[in-house]
Amino acid sequence: MAVLEILQFPDLTLRRRAATIPQIDEAIHRLAQDMAETMYVAPGIGLAAPQVGVPQRLIVVDLSAGERPGELITLINPEIVCKEGELRMEEGCLSVPDLRETVARCRRVVVKGMDLEGRAVELEGEDLLAVALQHEIDHLDGILFLDHLSQLKRSRYAAKVRKAGSAGS
């Protein structure tokens, strides 16, 4: 396994819609393993393939952040098929460092996709799991959690990133 580089805002790769994975091969298995390792080292509870520069529809989620074996969820070509309720929860993102903000999401979601064996999976998530699934699936569509914030908050964060970038030059 390898720890991959996590792309950070404003990298334009994060804004591209990821491609459907047509077949599950050894490269996809390796990518999923590397993504999980990267997520645990970061540390985080979710990661989408576009965040590591791979424009494919693959996510990993583990609410225990690796603390409880067997809780890793790997989904290929996930899509939300049902949304219910509303929940406001503080979020952060490995691709948007040093920012945590409250975001409104659906409280419950049902997601369909495939596991690494190519079997159809239907997963119901509530509360934090629902938020994590929505957050990671957003990444597959080129959407960052920043996009759920007010224009003012987005502008302030972008200015902060620009200033930090010019300070490092």
- Cis peptide bond prior to 43, omega within 30° of 0: yes
Q: Which residue has the higher pLDDT, 166 or 145?
A: 145
pTM beyond 0.85, yes or no: yes
Average pLDDT, integer, range 16-39? 97
Number of domains making up the chain: 1
CATH code of the domain containing 130: 3.90.45.10
Residues 150/130, Cβ–Cβ less than 8 Å: no
Q: Can you read off the two tokens belonging to residue 152?
A: 């003012």
Q: Is 136 a catalytic residue?
A: yes
Question: What does the mean pLDDT of the chain come to?
Answer: 95
Q: 75 pairs with which residues across the strands?
A: 59
Give a yes or no: residue 168 inside a domain: no
Give a yes or no: residue 1 inside a domain: no
Going by pLDDT thresholds of 50, 70 and 90, the confidence category of residue 165 is confident
Q: 89 pairs with which residues across the strands?
A: 103
Interatomic CA distance for residues 95 and 11, integer angstroms: 9
Q: Which of 71, 84, 122, 136 is catalytic?
A: 136
Give a yes or no: residue 169 inside a domain: no
Residue 168: pLDDT over 80: no
